[in-house]
Every structure is written in C-alpha cells, then in structure tokens.
Chains A and B, each alone.
Chain A
Amino acid sequence: MLAQALHIARLEALLALRKAHQLAAIAMFAVCAVYLVYQADGFGQQNAWAAQLWVVYLFSIFSAAGRLFDREQGPTRRYLQWAVHPSALIGGKLLYAAVLTGAMTLLVFGAFYLLLGAPEGANLSLLALIGAGWWGAFSMATTVTTVTAIASQTRAGPAIAAVLGLPLLIPQLILATRMTRDVLDGLAWTTSEHFVFLGSLGLGTAVLAILLFPYIWRS
C-alpha cells in the first residue's frame, strides 16, 4: 500500500515537472497575489482592505472570464468559424465578460462587505465602491478574455491562461487598488485618475483583441 502510494506521489511529481507550465501557473498566482498585498504594505488599514478586496476579485475574474472559450472545441468551433466573423465572436465574448464581471462584482463585494465590513475611518459610499470594483474588473476581464482566447487554442489548458495573463494583470490590479483607495478617501470613483487609465486600458485591450483574434482563430 505505502509503496504504491509513494510510487503514485513520485509519478505525480515527475509528470508535474514535465508539464512545467502548470507549476508555473501556481507560482504565478502566488507571486501575483503576494505582490499585490506587498504594494499595500505600510500604508495603513484602508490600503490593506483594498488589497484584500482585489485579491478576491482577481481570483473571481479569473474563474469567470477564464472559462469563456471552454465550449469552442471540435464541431462547435468549426461551426462558429463558418458562421460568424471572428471579430464579432471576440466582441461578443468581451461584452458578455463585461456583464458577467458586473454581476460577479456585486456578489464578491456583497460577501466581502458582509463579512469584513468597512475599514475604519473610511469615507464610505457603497455605490462608488461597487462602481470602482466593476470598472477595474471589466478592465481586467478584457485582458483575461484575450489571453484565454490564446490559451484555448493550445492543448495546455487554463494553466497557460494564468501564466500569460497574470503578469499583465499586476499593473491593472495596482491601478484598481489605488482607485478603491481613492474611493475610500472620499473621491467619486469617476473622478479618480485611475478611472481613466483603467478605462483606456480595458478599451485598448478590447481593440487589440478584436484586431488580433481573427489571426489566432484560423485553423
């Protein structure tokens, strides 16, 4: 029994090492989350709160937008290739991602706020916080959708999406955390300069995705 278990464990380790991208994906998630929290270090409770919120958002966005191309395999894929223009396909996926992340923001923020409450001394506007969350989540969802589109073309699966997407999400996460911090300081979420940056990043990414997608979608 024990010998068999040890053998299986050894086999797992060997296979994992052979598929290094899966280990890399784990490492990438760890680095990304730690780095986000590190950015908030030493700036007091509000920043820690904002960083925690965005770590939660990060994982939710990934599990939401990271599955957008799960169905496009085999016959479905061939049908879609024949039926719709690739730019329309990615455009539709991006629109859906925006709605999905909006709904997800409500859920994540609701649960987060219910359990953790507001940070001390915050100038709280729930609506502004939700708005900031949705805006940042939308911006990141475009990136996740695009790298998922690339990753789904390989046989390596969702691990590759994490490896490709997380590095690009770090700056967006930092921006989003700062926007949440601004909101906690009492700024309206649309007047924060990070609002403009995140919005243009999201739109820019969407445009890039629409331009590049026809290219990766061909078989």
Chain B
Amino acid sequence: MSGKLWKWGGVALLLMVVWDSFTTPMQPGWVASEVDKSDANAWLVELSAAGHPLVDGVNDNTAGFQVIFKSESAALCAEVISVEAHKLVCRLTPPDTLPRPSLDAFVMTPGAGSLMLRNAVSVAGAVKGVPHKNCEIGQMQPSTLPATVPFQPNILETIRNLMFHVPMWFAMFFIMSLSFVSSLLYMRTGDIKYDQRADAASRTGLLFGVLGLITGSVWARFTWGAWWVADPQLNGALVTVLVYTGYRILRAATGDDDRVPRLAAAYNVFAFILLVVLLMILPKYNVSLHPGKDGSPGFNTYDLDNTLRSMFYPAVIGWGMLGYWIYTLGLRMIRVHRQLLNR
C-alpha cells in the first residue's frame, strides 16, 4: 500500500499544481497604449490591460482610479473617463515642457494596487524642461486581489509554463543522475541489475529532456518570438538530449552483445561528467535570455512571489515523483523482457 501511496501522492500533487496554475488569475497589468491627439489640448489615452479584470459589473465606474503620467520629476494628472474590464480611457492635457519626450503611466486602482506602463505616451514636440507639477499623488494602495500570479510584460499568461518547463528539466537531471550512479555501480560490481537501472533511467530522463525542449520551444515562441534562439541554455539542452539519444542508439545498435552493458556504462560516465562540466562552463560567460542568467532578471529576485512558489515547489516534487514512477515501470519492462529472452 505504501508503495502505491507515493505514486498517487505525486500524481495528486501534479493535478493540484495543474489546477492551481491554470485557475489562479494573473495580476492585471498594462500591455499597450493608444493616444488620440486629434484635440491638441486634450489627448485621449487608452490603456489596454491583461490579466484579472480591473472592474467587474456592467455599469463600470471610475471611482478609486487615479492616472498620473510621469517623466522623471514631472508628474501630470489625467482625468479618468471610463474603465472597463481590460481598458482604461483618460484625458491628458499635453505639457509644453518635459525632461524627456515620453511619459510613463502610473494607475492607482482601488483593488489591484498601482500598475505602471513605461513610455505610454510620447510627446515629441515638448521643449526640454520640467513642467509645473499639477497633481498630488494619492496614497499607494496595496493589492487586495485574491491570490494571483504575477504580471510579466512579455510573458503574460504563459507564466504558468513555469510549473511544467522548469520542473521537467529538474526531473531530467534527477533521473540522469540516477542513471550515472547506476552506471558507476555497474562498473564497480558488474551486477546486471545496475545496468538495467541505468538503461531504464536514461530512457525516462530522455523523455523528460524532450518534454523540456518542447515546452521551452513553445514558451520561446511566445516570449522571444522564435521556436529556437541562439542561447547558451538551449545549446546545453540540445547537447544533453543528443548525448542521451546517442546512448540509446549505442544500446539499440549493438543489440544483445554481452559487451554492451560495459560500453554503455563507460559512455554514460564519460558523457555525464563532460555534460556537467560543459553545462557549467558554457552558460557562465555568455549572455542568456533565460531568467536568472547574466543579462536578464531571475524569477527568484522579484517575480517568484509566494503564490508562484506555492505551486512551483510542489510541481518540482510532483514531476520528480512522476518521473521516478515512470522509471520504475520502465525498469520492470526491461526485467520482464530479459526474463522472456532467457526462457
């Protein structure tokens, strides 16, 4: 019974994570702005939002919303005209002077805290200088929304992929380490059960590697605009998947030759050590698009908030357990196959 408990526990954990990550709404945030300058003295600025609705109900009201356009020390209040679930329209009197020719929008909302959009309005004609500050900034209100996943300008709703893509690589690394240790043990003892373990683990690990590549590719298409980009992390991922494909082909091509376990073990040890070294060296000194690497902010620093954490850690454990379960099934298949051959 206890043997089944952790398996179903892992699956339950994963189901919970999947449910949570897809049902938790995203913190609202601005994605675009459009400025209607047809009236030279009163520009209409339309901000479009994504994520949790700004207001609910049909008769929307603007109470509690305050829009301030800022440019360094300059701050200009705008008059809020209408607010819809994912749209806010306000009227702005264009300034004659500005420190720099663009304005960032800061919107105080009654429920979702303060939401910013950089360079929301460009003011090409303004003379350089600081205009008269024409508004008082109200008290910042913290967000009172129920649990939300954070808003990231380029990532948007795809942030939920964090529960799939990243833990899949973790699971792959965990299972490949298992394979490596099994190969080492096989080299030491010559016991065929370790070879079977290394075999089964490399199969499962490769599965997770391919899943990691696919989920990553889909994510890259959305956030970076291409299915594949020249990035050290991606080089490492490709190399890892190819190396273990090579390992699988070595086992398949040489059939049931009794030297295969030994050769496979030697290659596994050789490749794993090289991979660890290469994957540690290569991404180190090169700018990566991945979060947390040089040149881009990490999920850890400000955007892995408590809501994401409460899903991410169970996801890591859940995928790890599922991977281990798949591995034990694969191992059982290999053993049965061998028994049938020996009959």
Task: Mark A residues whose CB is within 8 Å of B.
Answer: 19-21, 24, 28, 31, 35, 38-39, 41-42, 143, 146-147, 150, 153-156, 159-160, 163-164, 166-168, 170-171, 174-175, 193, 197, 201, 204-205, 208-209, 212, 215-216, 218-219
Identify 17 new A-B residue pairs, CB closer than 8 A, beyond the known A156-B253, A216-B262. A20-B253, A21-B250, A28-B242, A31-B242, A35-B238, A39-B230, A154-B250, A154-B260, A159-B253, A164-B267, A168-B278, A174-B235, A201-B278, A208-B270, A208-B273, A209-B270, A215-B262
Minimal Cβ-Cβ distance residue in B for A25:
B249
Is there a chain A Cβ closer than 8 Å to B266's Cβ?
yes
Majority SS at the chain B contact face: helix
Is there a chain A Cβ closer than 8 Å to B243's Cβ?
yes
Check B238 against A212 for contact (C-beta < 8 Å).
Answer: no
Q: Count of chain B residues with Cβ under 8 Å from any Cβ of A?
A: 35
Is there a chain A Cβ closer than 8 Å to B282's Cβ?
yes
Please measure, in the bound complex, the distance between the C-alpha atom of A168 and the C-alpha atom of B267, giving whole angstroms: 11
Please measure, in the bound complex, the distance between the C-alpha atom of A204 and the C-alpha atom of B281, giving whole angstroms: 13
Check B270 against A171 for contact (C-beta < 8 Å).
Answer: no
Check A21 against B253 for contact (C-beta < 8 Å).
Answer: yes
* B278 / chain A contacts, CB cutoff of 8 Å: 168, 171, 201
Partner of B267, one of A39, A150, A201: A150
Task: Mark B residues whose CB is within 8 Å of A.
Answer: 187, 230, 235-236, 238-239, 242-243, 245-247, 249-250, 252-254, 257, 259-260, 262-263, 265-267, 269-271, 273-275, 277-278, 281-282, 285
Contact A19 to B277, CB < 8 A, known contacts A39-B230, A174-B282: no
Please measure, in the bound complex, the distance between the C-alpha atom of A170 and the C-alpha atom of B245, giving whole angstroms: 14
Check A160 against B253 for contact (C-beta < 8 Å).
Answer: yes
Please measure, in the bound complex, the distance between the C-alpha atom of A143 and the C-alpha atom of B278, giving whole angstroms: 13
Partner of B187, one of A38, A174, A204, A215: A215
Query: What is the distance, in angstroms, from A143's C-beta to the closest C-beta of chain B?
Result: 8
Contact A20 to B252, CB < 8 A, known contacts A164-B246, A164-B267, A208-B270: yes
Query: What is the distance, in angstroms, from B227's C-beta to the closest C-beta of chain A?
Result: 13
Contact A163 to B254, CB < 8 A, known contacts A41-B230, A154-B259, A208-B270: no
Please measure, in the bound complex, the distance between the C-alpha atom of A63 and the C-alpha atom of B247, giving whole angstroms: 21
* A219 / chain B contacts, CB cutoff of 8 Å: 259
Please measure, in the bound complex, the distance between the C-alpha atom of A39 and the C-alpha atom of B230, giving whole angstroms: 6
Query: What is the distance, in angstroms, from A136's C-beta to the closest C-beta of chain B?
Result: 15
Minimal Cβ-Cβ distance residue in A for B228:
A38
